[in-house]
Each structure stands twice: as C-alpha cells, then as structure tokens.
Structure 1
Amino acid sequence: MKFLLLAALACVAVKLLAGRWPWELFGPNAHEAGEKRARNLLGLHGDAGYDDIIEAHRRLIMKVHPDRGGTADAVHEANAARDLLLARIAPRARDGQR
C-alpha cells in the first residue's frame, strides 16, 4: 500500500515539475509530430526559414487549389501546415526582418 501511495505522489511531483505525466515524458510529443507532418506536407527540411516556408506553401497551393482540381480540405491543410511552421520560427523573421 505504501508503494502505491509513493508511486502516486511521485507521479504528481513529476507532473508539477515537468508539466507532463511520467508516461508522457518518453513518448512522442504531439506538437513535434504535428510539426514533422507539416514539414513533410510542404516538403521542407528541419532548418527551413520564413522564405522557404512561404515558397513551399505557394507551390503546394498551386497544386491543391480547387481551381486546379484540388479540394478545399487540401488548401486548409496546407494553410494549417504553413501557420504551424511560421509560428515556430523567430518573431523577427516573421516580421520580415532577416
């Protein structure tokens, strides 16, 4: 019984200190997985900058736009990928100050 109580207290302590439960510490991070999926969708490498993201998004939109035989869902997915990646880069790069 004491072991279960200590294990529960340890779990709560890890949650308070790390912001994640102990079983979440070693699994894949959902945010990192989303960023990887966005990079794959846009065809970008890990250190792509603002201009690279915008150019890749423009190329993808040209392929998946409904006026060119694509779907609105594909456009929304491309826009979400662009927005996610742009949110992760430095604020000065977003403002056009490179």
Structure 2
Amino acid sequence: MLKLLMIAAVASFACRYVFGRWPWDYVKLSPTREQAVLKARKLLAVRPGASRQDVIEAHKRLIAMVHPDRGGTNDQVHEANAARDLLLDEIPD
C-alpha cells in the first residue's frame, strides 16, 4: 500500500513538473454558462434583466477605465468585451 501511495505522489509531482498543472486540475469542470453570465454581470455591474442599452453603457464605462491608454491592459479589454458579448447574447431580441 505504501508503494502505491509513493508511486501516486511521484506521478503527481512528475505531472506538475512536465505539464505545469496538478493532475486534479484536469478533473475540474469548466464553469457553466450561468456562472459565466453572473461573472459578466458582476464585471459590468449590471443587474439581471438589464436592457441592451444598459449593457452597452456599462461596457463603455468599463472600457474607459481599463483601456491600455488609461493604464489598463489588453486582457482587461478582452475580458470586458467578452462579458458584453455574453450578456448581449442573453438578451432576447
């Protein structure tokens, strides 16, 4: 039994060394769409049921704060754009 535990420990560390991730990181589930929508609402600071115009205005405000010319990063801009796109897709036409 001890040998099995040692082999599992060595295999875990080898996976971490070779791939840069622990083996159990591959087992985690990706976030659901509902979780992604909640994260997008939180990022843009809009309430559930916000209109298309509300989402667009919130996106403009956020972009004004995180734009690279104002000290933000490209990653923040991409995250804001993804949040806007996700929330706009959720709004029925």
Structure 1 position 88 matched with structure 2 position 74: no
- Tell me the TM-score normalized by structure 2: 0.66
* Cross-structure match for 2:58: 56
Q: Please state whether the residue corresponding to 1:58 is helix, strand or coil.
A: helix
* Cross-structure match for 1:43: 45
* Cross-structure match for 1:70: 72
Between the two proteins, what is the percent identity of the paired residues? 57
Structure 2 residue runs without a partner (length 5+) = 1-30
CA deviation after TM superposition for structure 1 residue 75, in Å: 0.1
Q: How many residues align?
A: 63
CA deviation after TM superposition for structure 1 residue 46, in Å: 0.5
- Tell me the TM-score normalized by structure 1: 0.63
CA distance, structure 1, for counterparts of residue 61 and residue 69 of structure 2: 14
CA deviation after TM superposition for structure 1 residue 47, in Å: 1.2
Structure 1 residue runs without a partner (length 5+) = 1-28, 92-98
